[in-house]
Structure 1
Amino acid sequence: MTETTTLLVFAHRDEASAFDDVPHLVTGVGKVNAATQLAAALAEAAPAPIERVVVLGTAGVVGDGPERPSLEEIYQVTGVVQHDFSLPSPTIVPAGERILPQDRTAVIATGDVFVKSDEQREAIAALGATLCDMECYAYAAVCARFGVPLQLFKVPSDFADSSTTDEEWDTIVFRKSEQLRAFWDERLA
């Protein structure tokens, strides 16, 4: 049996802090960085093509109510929309294998802004998303264009509300990286 060539991807170096011993790509924050870096990695992978992209990272919670994602669970993203684009964008469904049960899946909204206001999160939730980030739409669009299966896994770091700060994320991200590493070792490696 041949081993699948997997590209492990993170947006921010701190999200990858628990993965020093695992080959990975850090694209940088935001849709432009995510798209250009991932596209370059996929294009440059020949002659041994990448057969699967796995993205691990953090996300903000925008959903409310009893079905709201927990800050302690990892979710597999099964749909991606943009929240900072003035025209409706199509939902992209990642083509990678779904490995988590339905109650551990989420739709994520991507935009080039760190969401930290109640008004923003309400508008994003109205798009049908329960999580938000700054890169997933770009990853999904690039993988769709290259025909590479994509699996997106996010662990919520905050509630993307008016009490959320950049400094709070900076302190939480290292613990979240450890949580993602345990998940990687158990389910994906």
Structure 2
Amino acid sequence: MSVLVVSATKAEAAYVPDGLDLLVCGVGKVEAAVRTGEAIARLRPSLVVNVGTCGALREGVSGLFEPSRVVNHDFDAAGIRALGYDVGDEVELPGGDGSVLATGDRFVTDPVVRDGLALRASLVDMEGYAIVRAAQAFDVPVRLVKVVSDDADESALDWPSVVDGCARRLGEWLVAHA
């Protein structure tokens, strides 16, 4: 099995084991979708695994997660559907742990935004949904593996001080599962 590991940043991918194809796609949905699609077309992996950090949208949420659903939180799918277009804004992922990840290009540090997102999800990131959609476009299975780095509030700005510990956990998961 050939595995393509996708991470937004080098820091999050610091402990990806040797022998796995690694793509550092950049931050945000556009970069993630474009770069992931290019890599899948070139490498033809049998599995895409997105590893990275995320914010917790609810109190007491911490640790490593394998989301079962990912939602595109800053896309107005309802408004576009009202115009008669069939668009999606969430994807179910087989084999997950039941958690829900909200993906958007907005860096969440505002408690009001966080609380609104918590009505739909327990975790938030900036690339997961885009990576899932890119893999789906090529009919390649995909898994998301996320470690909580902050509480999607002002603590998100401390990311540089916690990312190495998160990256170690992601690397350990890859050793055990990839």
Q: Distance in 1 between matches of 2:64 and 2:156?
A: 21
Percent identity over paired residues: 35
Q: Distance in 1 between matches of 2:16 and 2:48?
A: 16
Q: What's the C-alpha RMSD, in Å, of the aligned pairs? A: 1.6
- Using the size of structure 2 for normalisation, the TM-score is 0.87
Displacement of 1:181? 1.1
Q: What corresponds to 1:13 in structure 2? A: 10
SS of aligned partner of 2:50: strand
1:94–1:149: 8 Å Cα contact kept in structure 2?
Answer: no
| 1:47-95 deviations in Å (ceiling 9; x for gaps) | xx2111011110000124xxx422xx21101101111123344311235
For residue 54 of structure 2, the aligned residue among 33, 43, 59 is 59
**Structure 1 counterpart of 2:171, which letter?**
R
In the alignment, structure 2 segments of 5+ residues that lack a partner are 79-87
Q: What corresponds to 1:28 in structure 2? A: 26
Displacement of 1:20? 6.7
- Using the size of structure 1 for normalisation, the TM-score is 0.83
SS of aligned partner of 1:8: strand
2:12–2:167: 8 Å Cα contact kept in structure 1?
Answer: yes
Q: What corresponds to 1:184 in structure 2? A: 174
SS of aligned partner of 2:152: coil
Q: How many residues align?
A: 168
Q: Distance in 2 between matches of 1:62 and 1:177?
A: 20
**Structure 2 counterpart of 1:37, which letter?**
R
SS of aligned partner of 1:17: coil
Q: What corresponds to 1:41 in structure 2? A: 39
Q: Distance in 2 between matches of 1:149 and 1:120?
A: 31
In the alignment, structure 1 segments of 5+ residues that lack a partner are none
